[in-house]
Amino acid sequence: MKKTLTDPFLLALVGMVVLAVAWPEPGRSGGFLHLEQASTYGVAVVFFLYGLTLAPEKMRAGLIHWRLHLVVVFGTFVLFPLIMLATEAAARPLLPATVWTGFFYVAALPSTVSSSVAMTSLAKGNVPAALFNASLSSLIGVFATPALMAWYLSQTGAAALPLGDVILKIVLLVMVPTALGQILHRPLARWSARHARAIKILDRVIILSIVYNSFANSVVEGLWQRHEPSLLVEIAVMSVAIFFVVYGLLIIPCRLLGFDRADRVAALFCGSKKSLATGVPLAGIIFGTGPEVGLILAPIMLYHFLQLVIVGFIANRHGQTAEAAVT
């Protein structure tokens, strides 16, 4: 948990928001840094790197646990959105409509990859299955996330999402770079392994640039001035509550299907987590670079941070219990 709180990437995310508030001009769309380009060309780079570093043999190692995969996909793309819809119906007056859009965006996103695998490993869970599920979730999310958002926006009376245009952008900026990365995975395996740290830094810099651009646009347009600072506290409380509801409900199918402890850990961690690394780049494709994007991204940023803190604590407890059982 202490490591999570001092994670350089999370600290840098907070820094980008603070920078956007204090000095938004360089980061806004049209500013001298032209960071709006990160929402187009940068997105393609992020997903090319994802494809380049995704090892197909590790995916195949987790393929046999099909019941576990069904639980994770159900939790990620069915249970989570349903819970979010029920929560919004019960508590709609508590938050602005744009924030509810942001929360449903959280619900529509795929699971994380790196942190799901890391936390499953810490908890002595089924790591190959976690890697397969998190990766599969990311691939499904390329189409499921915009489709769910298109349906949600049409149901809430918001501006219709041009799904055809969005899917075309996703194919060009997400699927093609990911496929190219996979094609080059084997011939560039040694090169990517040697430069793993540089690849990770480049990926994080692009994501941070998109966050800075989104929040800078929001600040320049005065979006945050129309809301009280307590709104962030409300978003954080809602994020924690939703996490525990999803996590608790996922325990039911795990028990009904008779999962052992290792499989249960993988299913719970992958099914309850959401990917900031996917959410930030996709937001620019789905919502554009308007000022409201900063407010839409606030729930996934807070949820991402809080899920790491909570799951880090749970994973540590699971790991200690597993070690005690062995000794």
Q: Burial code of 132-166, b = ≥16 C-beta within 10 A, e = fewer?
A: bbbbbbbbebbebbbbbbbebbeeeeeeebebeeb
Return the pLDDT at 39.
65
Give the residue ranges of DSSP H helices in the chain. Answer: 2-5, 8-22, 41-53, 56-61, 66-74, 80-91, 97-108, 114-122, 127-155, 163-170, 176-183, 189-194, 196-220, 230-256, 261-272, 276-287, 293-326
Query: What tokens were used for 161?
Result: 């999402």
Q: Let me know: does 132 contact 64? Beta carbons within 8 Å.
A: no
- The identity of residue 15, as a single letter, is G
Return the pLDDT at 170.
81
Euclidean distance between CA atoms 293 and 313, whole angstroms? 31
The pTM score is: 0.85
Return the pLDDT at 85.
96
Return the pLDDT at 99.
94
Burial of 60 (0-12, 13-18, 19+ CB in 10 A): exposed
- Picking from 324, 296, 308, the residue whose alpha carbon sits closest to that of residue 100 is 296
Return the pLDDT at 322.
72
Return the pLDDT at 135.
81
- Hey, what domains does the chain have and what are their CATH numbers? 2-318 (1.20.1530.20)
Q: Let me know: does 55 contact 186? Beta carbons within 8 Å.
A: no
Cα 124 to the chain's mean position, in Å?
23
Return the pLDDT at 215.
83
Return the pLDDT at 72.
94
Tens place of pLDDT per residue across the chain (327 aa):
555 556 788 788 888 888 988 988 988 888 888 888 876 688 888 889 888 887 776 666 666 778 999 999 999 999 999 999 999 999 999 999 999 999 999 999 999 877 788 888 888 888 888 888 888 888 898 889 999 998 998 887 665 566 677 778 888 888 888 889 989 998 998 999 899 899 989 988 888 888 888 888 888 877 677 778 789 899 999 999 999 999 999 999 999 999 999 999 999 999 999 998 888 888 888 887 677 888 899 999 889 888 888 888 888 888 777 766 655
